Amino acid sequence: MSESGGEKTEAPTPKRRDDALKKGDVLRSRDLATAMVMLAGVGWMVMAGPALIRACAGVMAASFRFGRAEVEDFSPFRPLAEAGWRVLPSLLALLTVTLVAAVVSGLAMGSGAFNASLFAPKASRINPAAGLKRVFGANGWIELGKSLVKVVLLGCIGGWMLWSSSRATMGLAQSDLGTALDELGSTFLAVMVAMAGGLALIAGGDLPIQIIRRLSKLRMTKQEVKDEHKESEGNPEAKAHARAQARKLLSGGARKAVAEAHVVLTNPTHFAVALRYDRGRDQVPVVVAKGRGATALAIRDLAGEARVPVLEYPMLARAVYYTSREGQEVRDDLYRAIAAVLAFVFGLNAAAGGSAPPQPLVEVPPGARFDENGATLV
């Protein structure tokens, strides 16, 4: 069945994700940032709010106190300056807490790295057509729906809180100033806590939506995955990394693992998997080493040094590579194909020096057929 090259059905590769991060395309949730700032501010008000209330009460008390000195030396801005100095430390602390919360919310979603390219002018930002598309497109309708939900939810929460405290508030007219301020402060904090809880609830629903939208945006077509794989194979940095991995494999414990293998299946050069089947300790064949690219070539070299048979079974090699990990038994539906290969290898060992039988044909189950990129073949 033919596949459409324009359908984005493949998950984004690590390179695609890294490129998106370099371009400033990171996970963003304005609702989460707003909720964290609100929660931090409310938390500060719960802890340090009484000090702010006392400062405001002092300012009010000082504002209604007049003496002879104020009449003789009239300075209307002096009381304002004194009031500002009393309230300023509390306001600066609140500002610091909210700024820290905003930065932490960005870091939590991986958007803490500085990207100068975001400050570069873009024609799409001033293009009326692009602006209309953002407003009336799918994203615009989603944002409108979210805004309506926020207005309704927060309006209901705020209205209910104010209605429930209306009787107590109306009775404050007969109370003294200190009692009235304490009661108003408690009511205000209760409303703010409820509103912050509503914002947190909205953020909890918005974050999964943003994750799904970003993954959908980064998805790739099968052709894009193939092109990226080919490009990475020709990249000098990728080749150097592959050679380093191959050298690490040659000097590590893979030499012993491949030496214990009974056969190495290849693709012939892109993939290599080494299988062991020791009747004394293995119930089913076990993958002792696997790799692709330069690592696959290294496994072939190790097999040659250990005189382990290397057989070209492209489809079966890819099936084992994508369905099993090193040190893991092969998948059940591959038993028959691998058993035929192992029987052929054991027959070679038994008939050493004689005429070698022809290499058997094996059938890979449909559910274990993969292309070079790991996509299932239909």
pTM above 0.75, yes or no: no
Tens digits of per-residue pLDDT, 172-204?
566 666 666 667 667 777 777 887 888 888 888
Mean pLDDT computed over 128-144: 64
Please report the pLDDT score of residue 18 as a whole number.
77
d(C-alpha 271, C-alpha 286), whole Å: 17
Tokens of 65: 């106190």
DSSP secondary structure letters along 202-237? HHHHHHHHHHHHHHHHH-B-HHHHHHHHHHHHH-HH
Please give the CATH architecture assigned to the domain spanning 237-368.
3-Layer(aba) Sandwich (3.40)
Tokens of 280: 């004394």
* Residue boundaries of the structural domains of the chain: 14-114+122-220, 237-368
Tens digits of per-residue pLDDT, 256-280?
888 889 999 998 778 999 999 988 8
More confident residue, 213 or 169: 213
Please report the pLDDT score of residue 127 as a whole number.
60
Please report the pLDDT score of residue 1 as a whole number.
40
Mean pLDDT computed over 345-368: 76
Tens digits of per-residue pLDDT, 35-85?
888 888 888 777 776 676 666 666 666 666 666 666 566 666 666 666 667
Q: Tell me what the pLDDT averaged over the chain comes to.
A: 75
Q: Are 38 and 195 in contact (CB under 8 A)?
A: yes
Cβ density class 241-252: b for 16+ within 10 Å, e for less: ebeeebeebeee
3-state DSSP call for residue 265?
strand
